Amino acid sequence: MCSGDQRMILSAPGFGFVPDSDFEALPYQGFGACDYEVKACPQAQALQHGDVIDLGDRAIDVMHLPGHSSGSIGLYDARNQQFFSGDVLYDGQLLDDLEDSVITEYLDSMERLLQLKTDEVRPGHHHSFDRRRLTGLVRQYSIPARRRYVRAKTSR
């Protein structure tokens, strides 16, 4: 994040999304999660859907997967069938009620994930999982999310 906006990335202590348990090793003695912050950094290059990041020994495809947030991306290594999902999909409660979340976009992104040929998903949170778990997590999210969206739309 170019600005280091703690509120936008939900790392401010008030959000409680960076608990002590997220750290396997402390960066220094006396460190606590309430001290954690993401520093601002200059943007080297904006990533776009369809870009390919050439790492020399592997190529990573950039996939724009909005829903959780408007700028959510996943990184896909087709040769090794690995998918780095970031915040789009992980084995935990998926967040779709944030300031920048759009449920219909999240559902579209989930449908795209079902088409992905991958043996291994490396999420931004929690542990890695396989294709079978990817399918289960997509279904686990999509069915209730569709119901919530339809209810919200009809109650207006």
CATH number at residue 78: 3.60.15.10
CB-based contacts of 64, cutoff 8 Å, min separation 6: 48, 49, 71, 72, 73
Range of the domain at 114: 52-154
How many separate domains does the chain show?
A: 2
Mean pLDDT taken over the chain: 85
The predicted pLDDT at position 151 comes to 78
The runs of H, that is alpha helices, within 77-130 are: 103-114
Q: Are residues 128 and 70 in the same domain?
A: yes
Q: Output the pTM of the full model.
A: 0.76
The predicted pLDDT at position 39 comes to 72
Q: Are residues 19 and 83 in the same domain?
A: no
Q: What is the per-residue pLDDT across 96-135, written as a single tens digit (0 to 9) for each?
A: 888 888 999 999 999 999 999 999 999 998 999 999 999 9
Q: Are residues 29 and 61 in the same domain?
A: no
Q: Are residues 83 and 102 in the same domain?
A: yes
